[in-house]
Structure 1
Amino acid sequence: MSEERERIVATVSVDLLDDADPADKLVKALGIGPFACVIVLVSPEVDLDALTAKLQSEIDAPHIIGARTAGEICSEGYSERKIVALGFPQSHFAASARMFEALDSPDEVAIGREVLALRHDAQAQRQEFKNEFAFLLVDGLSRREDAFVLNISTALGSTQLFGGSSGDGLRFESAPVFYNGQVRSNAAIVLVVRSNCQFKVFREDHFESSEKRLVVTGAIPEKRLVTEINAEPAAPEYARIVGIDPNQLSPFIFASHPIVVSVGDQHHVRAIQRVEDNGHLRFFASIDEGMVLTVAKARNITDHLQEVLEDLSADREPDLIFACDCILRRLEAEQKQEVINMSAQLKKHRVIGFSTYGEQHNMLHVNQTLTGIAIYPPDHE
């Protein structure tokens, strides 16, 4: 177990292998509060019902939210088999949150009204706190992240949003989220936070577009499936373009050969989750017929991470960097033997967070990206 209590935001990580009662260890290390909100990121091995019941009974916070992960980021850097928690004290934060269920049949108007109500509630709690951000946790197997984040973007207005899709290691079976003791699949949680702290919301990736083009000529958008690329069966054609035997396609190959879609002068990764038995490609984000994609060229992932984190610390040291980091980034780091170097950077800059099945930034759902927030002490401290 490791903990840091001298900072504004309390952070704790508990090792499932070392602690006989990790939930008890977590509560004792984090402290009972009072917190404006607590975020808990949980390895897939944990019994969520038992954990959330413990958290609800012993932590003083009106909003305890969390998700299952595809890996954790703690004081050691990249890690697994951990529970990571962040406690936001009422002295510096006010929060309002809500869980939205049945993402496959949403009441879009009602959702917009609820998000506006969250903003008004957070502001009413501490009107002297002038800074606001929103955080989203969403079931990473729901395939509804794109539509949901677009739906709430109008209600959020100028409020910056970041978030992550829950995970399930590399099993892709069940990726629930939880709010105040309720564990749900096919659900999302929106958290609106007001603070007297300063912050920067960010989104970064280490890719550049190449000349290798793919045109989606067959797709089932609602299932995030691509059936044809360049009028050929999807998986073999992707393998041909990246120069890989189709039988060797795996998450490690997808991580090393991502594809991107360009929008104006920006690009967004459209990451592949897996090859289906019929040769279709299932993606982590929305995909449609007619999309023109390119295979991306990657910079050194550690060098890029170092630049991002140093930039966030250029003017002053953050109290905390809370990150949602795509599982494909970790897989790429493993394949290229960069995990130790990446973890050293994460540890050096006090990055806390989790590996995700997708990331959200303002009105976009993206993949193979690092999103998050750097929180700084108030100006008078």
Structure 2
Amino acid sequence: MLQVRQGYSNNPDMASAIEEVIHQIQQQQVKFVIFFSSMKYDFQQVSKEINAAFEAAEVIGSTSAGEIGKQGFSNESLVAMSISSSDWYASTAVIENIHSKPMLYRKNVIQAFEKTGLNRSDLNLSKKAFGILLVDGLQAAEEMVLSVIHSIFETDQFPLVGGSAGDDLKFTETYVSANGKVYHNAAVLTFVKTSHPFCTYRENIFEPTEHALLITKADIRGRIVYEMDGMPAAEAYASKLGIPTASLAEQMARYPIGRMYAKKIWISTPFKILEKGAIQFYSQIFPNTMVTILKPIDPVLAAAQTVKNIKDQLPEVKGVIGFNCIVRLLQFEKEKACEKVYKELSHLGEVVGFTTYGEQYGKVHINQTLTMLAFGE
């Protein structure tokens, strides 16, 4: 049997907040704990104390730009989830120096994977295991980390979800944690082997418009697009939207770029407009790629559809770990939709997660998305 418990506190006293959350998630035979913390608290101390309370479990966490828990979408809080089961085998790898040399830690990834007893060449691997990835959100290194992880597999489809750590919108430093130790310029990856049913899911709240653009000049590593359709990127983008280039910056989050692959949308959010009309994004876009400008849909209806789709795959769902983009949250707040969106998602059982600086799904780093891991009996 799989048991899930979640904890939440926004107590201004850090020691009390940690104690409250630990008490709420205590249960027998805990195998895995995940937590997300506002920078309001000392992340080193939070990590140390939660790990000490669950020494027999794998314990991972990150700093956040907002939390998701029993109080819905919150800020300046601490949330956590514990999972108890006799059939849940977890092992964690730390990938350091992600800004420049994450491949040096490939061996760590292999060792963590093999520790669970899994076989990398197993064609049915996607039904037996998954990965949860937390990444320092200010290194612009998610794609490199994902490349290291997926290089170890012979199969092309390994279920993985995750998010990029935040820091309450300070954009100064973000941190991840593995078994009580805190890391900067790093990622933590937990592999889980289980016979309990699970699924990964990716929700977006946008749909394609009729406006397509060809990326004609780009710096992949720098996530910069210099030209679209042979024109300065900002000029081409604004022209498709029918607005002056000077007005583009305030509209980009509402009309992000979608990379279309296998009839699915993978969102890249513009970060800022640079000199000579170049645009820097929060994720990589390759030259000679056709992209589509997206437009928003009702996020509450999207959340209801998400619940239906997950329950269709997993009728006995007990809980969800979710990674929700900060730009989505800002949209929810603007539209006064936070409470309604969370109310829909809460139909999936215990829901814990955080507001991210980017999301991971399979091999891809994306933006303005909610990536989710759902599990049950």
Bin the TM-score by the shorter chain. 0.7 to 0.9
Correspondences of 1:1-381 after superposition (within 5 Å): 8-17=3-12, 21-31=16-26, 34-106=29-101, 108=103, 111-123=105-117, 131-156=128-153, 157=155, 158-235=157-234, 237-244=236-243, 253-275=251-273, 280-314=278-312, 316-350=315-349, 351-377=351-377
Q: Is the 8 A contact 1:33 1:60 kept in 2?
A: no
Q: Is the 8 A contact 1:11 1:86 kept in 2?
A: yes
Q: CA deviation at 1:193?
A: 1.0
Give the % identical residues. 27
CA distance in 2, matches of 1:275, 1:64: 39
Aligned length: 366
What whole-Å deviation, never above 9, does each CA across 1:85-111 have from its counterpart, x for those lacking one?
111225342210011101133363x54
Q: Is the 8 A contact 1:32 1:59 kept in 2?
A: no
Aligned residue for 1:305, secondary structure, equals helix
CA distance in 1, matches of 2:39, 2:244: 32
Q: TM-score under structure 2 normalisation?
A: 0.86
Q: CA deviation at 1:269?
A: 0.9
CA distance in 1, matches of 2:27, 2:51: 10
Q: Is the 8 A contact 2:96 2:102 kept in 1?
A: no
What whole-Å deviation, never above 9, does each CA across 1:343-381 have from its counterpart, x for those lacking one?
22123333221121222222122222221111112xxxx
Partner AA of 1:176 in structure 2: Y
Q: Is the 8 A contact 1:12 1:86 kept in 2?
A: yes
Listed as ranges, the gaps of 5+ residues in structure 2 are 119-126
Instruction: Name the counterpart of 1:127.
Output: none
Distance 1:32 1:374, change over 3 A: closer
Q: CA deviation at 1:299?
A: 2.4
CA distance in 1, matches of 2:236, 2:83: 48
Distance 1:119 1:320, change over 3 A: same
Task: Calculate the aligned-residue CA RMSD, in Å.
Answer: 2.8
CA distance in 1, matches of 2:50, 2:259: 41
Partner AA of 2:90 in structure 1: A
Aligned residue for 1:274, secondary structure, equals strand
Which range is displaced more, 308-317 or 225-234?
225-234
Q: Is the 8 A contact 2:223 2:282 kept in 1?
A: yes
Listed as ranges, the gaps of 5+ residues in structure 1 are 1-5, 125-129
Distance 1:355 1:212, change over 3 A: same
Q: Is the 8 A contact 2:8 2:71 kept in 1?
A: no
Q: CA deviation at 1:16?
A: 3.8
Q: Is the 8 A contact 1:76 1:347 kept in 2?
A: no
Q: CA deviation at 1:32?
A: 7.2
Q: Is the 8 A contact 1:74 1:347 kept in 2?
A: no
CA distance in 2, matches of 1:174, 1:241: 36
CA distance in 1, matches of 2:275, 2:64: 26
CA distance in 2, matches of 1:283, 1:56: 36
Q: CA deviation at 1:83?
A: 0.9
Q: Is the 8 A contact 1:32 1:60 kept in 2?
A: no
Q: Is the 8 A contact 1:33 1:61 kept in 2?
A: no
What whole-Å deviation, never above 9, does each CA across 1:319-355 have from its counterpart, x for those lacking one?
1021112222222222333223212212333322112
Distance 1:211 1:175, change over 3 A: same
Aligned residue for 1:9, secondary structure, equals strand
Distance 1:226 1:132, change over 3 A: same
CA distance in 2, matches of 1:170, 1:248: 24
Partner AA of 1:105 in structure 2: S
CA distance in 2, matches of 1:132, 1:186: 26
Partner AA of 2:111 in structure 1: A
CA distance in 2, matches of 1:220, 1:16: 45
CA distance in 2, matches of 1:347, 1:18: 28
